[in-house]
Amino acid sequence: MTAIPRFPFRVTHTDGAARAGILETPRGTVATPCFMPVGTKGTVKGVAPERLAAAGAQIVLANTYHLSLRPGSSTVRDLGGLHRFMGWQGPILTDSGGFQVFSLMDTARVDDDGVTFRSVYDGSLQRFSPERSIEEQQRLGADIIMCFDECPPATASVDAVAAAVRRTTAWAARCRKAHAEAGGLGSDGPQMLLGIVQGGVDAALRRESALALLELDFPGYAIGGLSVGEERGPMLETTAATAALLPEERVRYFMGIGDPQGVLDVIERGVDLFDCVLPTRTARMGTAFTPQGRLNLRNSQHTLSDEPLDPECPCTACRTFSRGVLRHLVTQKEMLGLQLLSEHNLTFLSRLVAGARGAIQMNSFAAFRKQWIGA
RNA sequence: GGGGGGAUGCCCGAGUGGCCAAAGGGAGCAGACUGUAAAUCUGUCGGCGCUGCCUACGGAGGUUCAAAUCCUCCUCCCCCCA
């Protein structure tokens, strides 16, 4: 099989199934486990690049579906490529648009060759295929790109999930080929292409999916198709079982988890990377992550609170404002409130994950987990 | 001085005899959010001893089986003419 870019990844420590590692990309090193903030349209909503860095982000996401429609991948390329576009010189990962097949299902039609969408921007008919997704991702120029997959909802029947697995496998081969034909190069340098394991919470289908993708020899693998409405228990079992099927020396990416407990749960099961809109979205809705759990700042009980959100947190919100003031900013829909809480939640999560990494290095992850979550 | 319009629940505002504790919006209160169609969505939103009762549509009277809705007077507000 044609050689394609493979950024060096090594696991430096393990603690049970949990791993600490280092991924070296051309634009910088990612210490894993690592949470990746999501910047769908080329911006992590409400968080300027320097604040993102201050919040501990090492690598950020962007979305191929959205950027290919607005402003268009050629425009992004012509404006200097995705890194300049986002004002972020660190590593970037683009999602393939596969998730939009799931989240925009009402307006999408899937067939073996690809997906026909109705653009959410102007209603125009759009066609996405594995080749098209790779081509768009090449033009965008992220460092890590994803195979175009099919992500069925938790309510899908086993047959539908099986069909999605087979389609995802076939599409992965086509993505792999399209990527290789371009020499693994995007408009702005080498790109590492990751495969995505599907299969819902069905052990046999997960296995089928993983084994098929292993044959395609990707430099890293994502666990997709989870966090789509299934129960936590089966989700975690599936994560553990899937991670166990993947090569130890390749990076593992759980797609779409961002609540503090969930993050520790997947780290415990051998995941290195994960992303989620939850911290930034809930922040925009007025909810802050704290060591004591989620805090809804809109609640009237905080009106007169003079305490910081989290006295230990170094973020702007916690250093500068009381809960009472933050509540005011949130309830009055002041932009600053959304920005501050977004920065805070990202800071909280990266500190949590950094702590987990340190604990894995010292072989004390179980104790660390207990300290944060209890039990 | 003359003519006209209006006063509705915390706010704005619909309703012009029964289906009205009264549309809709806002505010308030609470909940959800997990590879972002999301600064979004959902619920609640007079009181109580809550399958019913009480209070309520500027105030006071009246007509009617029944009034936020019709009549009379009063109070206040707005507009036009002089």
Contact A307, A322 (CB under 8 A): yes
Closest by CA position to A65, among listed A141, A19, A133: A133
Tens digit of each residue's pLDDT (9 = 90 or more) over A87-104: 999 999 999 999 998 888
C-alpha to C-alpha distance for A322 and A109, rounded to whole angstroms: 49
ipTM of the complex: 0.94
Q: A134 vs A219, A222, A319, A322, CA distance in Å? A: 16, 16, 43, 46
Average pLDDT over chain A, rounded to whole?
Answer: 96
Whether residue A259 is predicted with pLDDT greater than 90 in this model: the reply is yes
Catalytic residue check, A306:
no
Average pLDDT over residues A95-115: 90
Could you tell me the sign of the dihedral formed by the alpha carbons of A217, A268, A224, A276, in that order?
A: negative
Closest by CA position to A96, among listed A122, A112, A120, A73: A73
Strand B: list positions under 7 Å from protein Cβ.
27-41
Query: For residue A196, which nucleotide's C1' is closest to its Cα?
Result: B35
Tens digit of each residue's pLDDT (9 = 90 or more) over A189-244: 999 999 999 999 999 999 999 999 999 999 999 999 999 999 999 999 999 999 99
Which residues from the 236-255 window of protein chain A have CB within 7 angstroms of nucleic acid chain B? 255
Give the global pTM: 0.96
Residue A311's contacts (CB-CB under 8 Å, 6 or more residues apart) are A318
Question: Catalytic: which of A15, A95, A188, A265?
Answer: A95
Whether residue A375 is predicted with pLDDT greater than 60 in this model: the reply is no
Q: How far is the CA of A83 from the C1' of B23 (A)?
A: 52
> A11 in the Ramachandran plot: left (φ > 0), alpha (ψ -120 to 50) or beta?
beta
Whether residue A1 is predicted with pLDDT greater than 80 in this model: the reply is no
A222 touches strand B (CB under 7 A): yes
Query: For residue A97, which nucleotide's C1' is closest to its Cα?
Result: B35
Q: Which residues of A354-370 are buried (b: 16+ CB within 10 A; e: fewer)?
A: bbbbebbeeeebeebbe
Which two structure tokens, joined as six digits, stand for A165?
């697995």
Closest by CA position to A94, among listed A132, A131, A65, A74: A65
A308 touches strand B (CB under 7 A): no
Under the banding of pLDDT at 50, 70 and 90, the label for residue A374 is: low
Q: A119 vs A108, A126, A364, CA distance in Å? A: 9, 6, 48
Q: What pLDDT score was predicted for residue A373?
A: 78
Q: Which amino acid is at A20?
A: A
